[in-house]
């Protein structure tokens, strides 16, 4: 079974803090994604990566950055957390040519 | 860019009732279509998918979906729901040659015992 893990299930941070969300997949997938999930808005793509050190902006990249130094790990960085970044963050991965995305359990981030 | 519409964000129904959730997408051409489900407190997981072939696809837990190309639709159905089908359901579309999925806003389904 594909396994996508995220470093924390729940996280509480203060406004202005730098926040790192980590995602690891164990199936050698080329593509990895970060989404945020908000009630009534569905899943919105923040960033994705199709290879090590490669990244592309999604639909809502403002306020976020990403890092992919190793194939299995994709990090989402909030440089200076703000209250409007309180959300559920989901990581996903997919093998090139295989169209089913596998999701992690999510990190519920609260910024106070 | 591809966009996906799901209507009736909140659906409440009784056990044994039939369920149909609509999904429409904006861009034609070759697409791959998905329905994902998120049970309370759990991961998003794949319910069913359509890549090609028979437009009526069957998924887990008695769900099925029909792809109608002329209507840009991929509606999800279940003839008789159970309390355990209470979940949020998301339709997603991938355009050929693009690694990104476009998601709808989801349907929150509550099944009353």
The model's pLDDT over A45-71, given as tens digits with 9 standing for 90+, comes to 999 999 999 999 999 999 999 999 999
Strand A19-25: give its sheet, edge to edge.
A4-6, A19-25, A73-78, A64-70
Residue among A44, A110, A40 nearest A78 (CA): A110
**Residue A106 and residue B1: Cα distance in Å, rounded?**
26
What pLDDT was estimated at residue A2? 64
pLDDT tens, residue by residue, A1-30: 668 999 999 999 999 999 999 999 998 999
CA of A80, closest CA in chain B: separation in Å? 27
What pLDDT was estimated at residue A1? 67
pLDDT tens, residue by residue, B86-112: 999 999 998 877 778 899 999 999 999
pLDDT tens, residue by residue, B8-17: 789 999 999 9
A54 touches chain B (CB under 8 A): no
Mean pLDDT of A28-54: 93
What pLDDT was estimated at residue B98? 76
**Residue B32 and residue B93: Cα distance in Å, rounded?**
6
Do residue B46 and residue A90 have CB atoms under 8 angstroms apart? no
Whether A96 shows a pLDDT value over 80: the answer reads no
What pLDDT was estimated at residue A82? 97
What pLDDT was estimated at residue B2? 82
Do residue B103 and residue A48 have CB atoms under 8 angstroms apart? no
Map residue B70 onto helix, strand or coil: helix
Strands A10-13, A4-6: pairing is: unpaired
What pLDDT was estimated at residue A27? 87
CA of B15, closest CA in chain A: separation in Å? 24
pLDDT confidence of A98, banded at 50, 70, 90? low
Whether A77 shows a pLDDT value over 80: the answer reads yes
Residue with the bigger pLDDT between B4 and B7: it is: B4
């Amino acid at each position: 079974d594909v396994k996508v893990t995220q470093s924390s299930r729940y996280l509480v941070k203060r406004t202005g803090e730098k926040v790192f969300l980590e995602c690891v997949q164990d199936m050698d997938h080329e593509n990895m994604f970060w989404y945020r999930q908000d009630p009534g808005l569905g899943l919105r793509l923040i960033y994705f990566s199709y290879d090590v050190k490669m990244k592309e902006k999604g639909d809502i990249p403002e306020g976020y950055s990403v890092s992919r130094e190793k194939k299995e790990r994709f990090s989402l960085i909030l440089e200076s957390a703000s209250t409007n970044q309180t959300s559920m963050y989901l990581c996903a991965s997919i093998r090139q040519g295989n169209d089913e995305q596998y999701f992690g359990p999510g990190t519920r981030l609260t910024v106070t | 860019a591809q966009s996906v519409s799901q209507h009736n964000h909140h659906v409440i129904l009784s056990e044994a009732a039939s369920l149909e959730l609509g999904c429409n997408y904006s861009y034609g051409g070759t697409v791959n279509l998905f329905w994902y489900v998120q049970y309370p407190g759990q991961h998003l997981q794949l319910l069913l998918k359509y890549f090609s072939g028979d437009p009526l696809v069957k998924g887990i837990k008695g769900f099925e979906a029909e792809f109608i190309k002329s209507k840009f639709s991929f509606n999800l159905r279940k003839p008789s729901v159970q309390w355990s089908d209470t979940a949020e359901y998301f339709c997603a579309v991938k355009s050929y040659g693009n690694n990104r999925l476009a998601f709808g806003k989801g349907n929150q389904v509550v099944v009353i015992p």
